[in-house]
A and B are shown apart, each in its own frame.
Chain A
Amino acid sequence: MVRKIKAPKDLSKLKETLLAKRNVVKSRVVVCGGTGCLAYGSKKVFELFKEEIDRHNLFAEVELKNSGCHGFCENGVVVLLFPQEICYLRVRVEDVAEIVSSTLIKKEIITRLLFQDLNSGERIAKEAEIPFYKHQSQLVFGSNRFIDPKEINDYIAIGGYEALAKVLEEMTPQEVIEEVKKANVRGRGGGGFPAGIKWETTRQAPGEIKYAVVNCDEGDPGAYMDRSIMEGNPHRVLEGLIINAYAIGASEGFIYIRQEYPLATENTLHAISQAQEYGLLGKNILGSSFHFSVTVHRGAGAFVSGESSALMAAIEGRVGQPRPKYTRTAVSGIWGRPSNLNNVETLANIPLVINRGADWYSSIGTENSKGTKIFSLVGNVNNTGLVEVPMGTTIREIVYDIGGGIPGGKEFKAVQIGGPSGGCIPQQFLDMPIDFDEFSKVGAMMGSGGMIVMDEETCMVDVARYFLDFLAEESCGKCVPCREGIKQLLAILQRISRGEGNEGDLSVLEELADVISDASLCALGQTAANPVLTAIKYFREEYLAHILEKRCPTKVCQGLITYFIDPEKCRGCGACLKNCPSEAIDGDRRQIHVILQDKCIKCGICADVCPEKFHAVRKLSGEPVPAVPLNREICRGEN
């Protein structure tokens, strides 16, 4: 039976006891249990570690931990060994016995499981020295590796809930708000609105009952920062939320978690019940006169429910659909009451601000963007995963120093930031610093932190089409500019990518995009045209090539490419003929093969199966298909 923590000093006592216990243990094995690693089989790896450690009778000196995400998801399962801070990557069940016998017992490092630098071939053992981590500054995300998300004591041992204790013991709600304002914490969910000002508005809004709400409806394609914080360190978000509730004067709160995040829901519910047992939630928190309780609300699968008024409608039990927000939700939100909504990452920053002070916090970052930002670095980049960098870091540093550059030595083309509301930032802005306002200046936005790297083989018509396709389904469909406008933007782009574009299309796209931005009801519609607008702005030539020359320069748009077998290179092996699903290849043994263009469905299988030594299948775009040679016979011995 857990005793309730009745005063802040009891929290520090508990922390000391926990640390004393922890110091007895000689080494610690941390198996990442984040969603990425789970998919690589981390649950089995963990179980096997348990068996092996048990078999060698090591549990007295080895502590085994299941943690949340560390960020280097591409290389799962990630296993850390302390105190040496060895980082093993891509660990599979068959490696576990060896790790225990070699590294844990004989203190020998297994080289093949270490990170290998792509350029130098050098192996790196220490986690902090791996370039992916070395250039990061994991102030928010870093503690994930030290705690089991299901274990509140782990969080308390690293100083968890100390900010809450400090707030309840030493600060008035107004002082908390002043501190957050001074730190200039801006909303990490997308808009970058100053959190302290929002808190103040909610606090000052008339009404007895107020709500503190967490937005965990992260839904941008490729983004999973909030998910990994919520899954890996739910107590930190909870602590931020309780502090927020104290500051705004709320005694009830909600955590809105999207349907697709079952582990985040499970860990959050578990964290809430532990916090209640410890007296960190409920009546008289830490012996103070402050009460606060929190409910988890699960989403039902709509992207638009991440918009504040739609999210609040959903919590009320109505359809998640935005309403006109001429009165802010901070003044009139859930059931018409003042409701403060913050994103997961924003709240996870709050304990840091309180513990280390606004002056320290605001020393990190740029003039108007403070602290760090977590990005999910995905796409055509060597090291994909979650990265946390101080504001002001350049895109180049993220893509090249942390991300390790573009695979296959290809050229960088653009980075898509901010998801469906954001935009494509081209090469000339590689040295742009991460900053809310800098991003807006070039037509993108910080968004929640999706960062999709694109190489030279990415078609910018296709990218814009992808995001509009997403939004056409995810718009709520209530207002005309968003619903009908996105539908028509998409139809025009589809025409362009089929080679049916005409000269007037670009001006219609731009004109329509302006109206959608100006006249839509909510932020989804107001920003929906950003991906297409930035694509046209920075890659106009590419659009014109599609429209005027009927040519897709990157040879991506199916309607604009033809497959062609180079007669000089074809050796008549028959691989393409055998694998073509639409019988579109004509040829015989020792005869040059030919694609019958009227039967070709452009699936590209012929190009995939053509042996590398021949490399005879080519994609053509915007040029005529060369004529078939009259004599198709391949002379013997010509191989």
Chain B
Amino acid sequence: MKTLHMIIDGKEIQAEEGATLLQVARKEGISIPTLCEHHELSPYGACRLCSVEIVKGGRTKVVASCVYPAEEGLVVNTATPRIQKIRVIILELLLASSPKGEVEKLAAEYGADSGKFAKELTFCILCGLCVRYCQEVKGEGALGFIGRGVERQVVYYPHLAKESCLKCDQKCVSLCPTCILPNIFGLAIPAFDKTYPTVYPVRLLDENNLFNLSNTIK
């Protein structure tokens, strides 16, 4: 494998061809926040928290480090003011819908303001970790996306979930960065035996509902 020479945050480093910028940075001990990335799954590029700046041909550009491949001579900066601002705003946007779990933790770390944007709680950031785990690792299709734009959401397909979830390790539950999946999952599984709709939305509409659910499960 070819060795590439790059500069990350001012430090000259070597990287293997085929690695992503995120992998290269982490190997160098540089921490880059992510919400939709997982080592068992293919890169997705949706949360954009891992955005970094690259300098190429004299021009600066923002790219998602989880999908951008290492290149010979590339200059990468992972924590410029522009990048910090992107991360803070993304976290502020996410706080408006899902102020729990990983989002809450990162928001505190980056000093994101939870009151900046209008709230509409769904507790799902559509990172797709559960969907992709189900499809890529398990080869099943019990979870999926429906809808487009602001209507996009994660759903169970109960007729498929009934077969596949019960025999599965259900690791999708622990992957969920906002803790919505563990709560809804416990409720949804028993319901699969009864009459069920063709899709079962994962996201919830209000916080109270979420906590009620988690109490029921315990």
Binding site for B on A (CB under 8 A): 302, 304, 319, 323-324, 326-327, 471-481, 483-488, 491, 508, 511-512, 514-515, 518-521
Dominant secondary structure at the A interface? helix
A518 touches B82 (CB 8 A): yes
CB distance from A307 to the nearest CB of B (A): 13
B48 touches A520 (CB 8 A): yes
Given A478-B126, A521-B64: A483 touches B152 (CB 8 Å cut-off): yes
B193 in contact (CB, < 8 A): no
Given A473-B151, A477-B126: A521 touches B96 (CB 8 Å cut-off): no
A-B contact pairs, 10 of them (CB 8 A): A326-B68, A476-B152, A477-B152, A478-B152, A479-B45, A479-B46, A481-B86, A491-B118, A512-B89, A521-B46
CB distance from A505 to the nearest CB of B (A): 11
CB distance from B128 to the nearest CB of A (A): 8
Q: How far is the CA of A334 from the CA of B46 in the complex (A)?
A: 21
CB distance from A314 to the nearest CB of B (A): 13
Q: How far is the CA of A479 from the CA of B128 in the complex (A)?
A: 10
Given A324-B67, A326-B68, A508-B116: A477 touches B48 (CB 8 Å cut-off): no
B150 touches A486 (CB 8 A): yes
B118 touches A488 (CB 8 A): yes
- The interface residues of chain B lying within 8 Å CB-to-CB of A491 are 117-118
B149 touches A521 (CB 8 A): no
A484 touches B96 (CB 8 A): yes
A479 touches B47 (CB 8 A): yes
- The interface residues of chain A lying within 8 Å CB-to-CB of B96 are 484, 488
CB distance from A374 to the nearest CB of B (A): 29
In the complex, besides A477-B149, A488-B96, A488-B117, 16 extra interface pairs with C-beta distance below 8 angstroms are A323-B45, A324-B43, A324-B67, A473-B149, A474-B149, A476-B149, A476-B152, A477-B150, A479-B47, A480-B46, A480-B125, A481-B86, A485-B93, A518-B86, A519-B64, A521-B64
A324 touches B48 (CB 8 A): no
Type the 1/0 row for B8-44, where 1 means its CB is closer than 8 Å to any CB of A.
0000000000000000000000000000000000010
Q: For chain B residues 43-62, which have a beta carbon within 8 Å of chain A?
A: 43, 45-49, 51, 62
Type the 1/0 row for B128-159, where 1 means its CB is closer than 8 Å to any CB of A.
00000000000000000101111110000000
- The interface residues of chain A lying within 8 Å CB-to-CB of B68 are 324, 326
Interchain CB contact (< 8 A) of A480 among B43, B63, B94 = B94
Given A471-B149, A515-B85: A481 touches B93 (CB 8 Å cut-off): yes
- The interface residues of chain B lying within 8 Å CB-to-CB of A520 are 48
- The interface residues of chain A lying within 8 Å CB-to-CB of B45 are 323-324, 479, 521
B78 in contact (CB, < 8 A): no
B51 touches A519 (CB 8 A): yes
Residue of A nearest to B66 (CB): A324
Q: How far is the CA of A471 from the CA of B149 in the complex (A)?
A: 8
CB distance from B141 to the nearest CB of A (A): 13
Q: Which of B62, B64, B89 has the most CB of A within 10 A?
A: B89
Residue of B nearest to A508 (CB): B116
B69 in contact (CB, < 8 A): yes
B97 in contact (CB, < 8 A): yes
CB distance from B112 to the nearest CB of A (A): 12
- The interface residues of chain B lying within 8 Å CB-to-CB of A472 are 149-150
B69 touches A480 (CB 8 A): no
CB distance from B14 to the nearest CB of A (A): 21
Q: How far is the CA of A514 from the CA of B51 in the complex (A)?
A: 14
- The interface residues of chain A lying within 8 Å CB-to-CB of B67 are 324, 326
Q: How far is the CA of A325 from the CA of B44 in the complex (A)?
A: 12
Interchain CB contact (< 8 A) of A515 among B46, B63, B89, B145 = B89
- The interface residues of chain A lying within 8 Å CB-to-CB of B150 are 472-473, 475, 477, 483, 486-487
- The interface residues of chain A lying within 8 Å CB-to-CB of B172 are none
- The interface residues of chain B lying within 8 Å CB-to-CB of A327 are 69
Given A326-B63, A480-B48: A519 touches B148 (CB 8 Å cut-off): no
Instruction: Please give me the 7 A-B residue pairs with the lowest Cβ-Cβ distance, nearest first.
Output: A477-B152, A484-B93, A324-B67, A475-B149, A515-B89, A324-B45, A519-B48
A484 touches B116 (CB 8 A): no
CB distance from A475 to the nearest CB of B (A): 4
CB distance from B144 to the nearest CB of A (A): 10
- The interface residues of chain B lying within 8 Å CB-to-CB of A519 are 48, 51, 62, 64, 86, 90
- The interface residues of chain B lying within 8 Å CB-to-CB of A484 are 93-94, 96-97, 117
B89 touches A477 (CB 8 A): no
- The interface residues of chain B lying within 8 Å CB-to-CB of A326 are 63, 67-69
Q: How far is the CA of A479 from the CA of B149 in the complex (A)?
A: 10
- The interface residues of chain B lying within 8 Å CB-to-CB of A479 are 45-48
Q: How far is the CA of A89 from the CA of B213 in the complex (A)?
A: 66
- The interface residues of chain A lying within 8 Å CB-to-CB of B90 are 480-481, 515, 519
Given A326-B67, A515-B86, A521-B46: A477 touches B93 (CB 8 Å cut-off): no
- The interface residues of chain B lying within 8 Å CB-to-CB of A508 are 116
- The interface residues of chain B lying within 8 Å CB-to-CB of A511 are 85, 89
A481 touches B152 (CB 8 A): no
A478 touches B46 (CB 8 A): yes
Interchain CB contact (< 8 A) of A324 among B64, B86, B93, B118 = B64
Residue of A nearest to B117 (CB): A488
Residue of A nearest to B97 (CB): A484
Q: How far is the CA of A319 from the CA of B148 in the complex (A)?
A: 10
Residue of B nearest to A491 (CB): B118
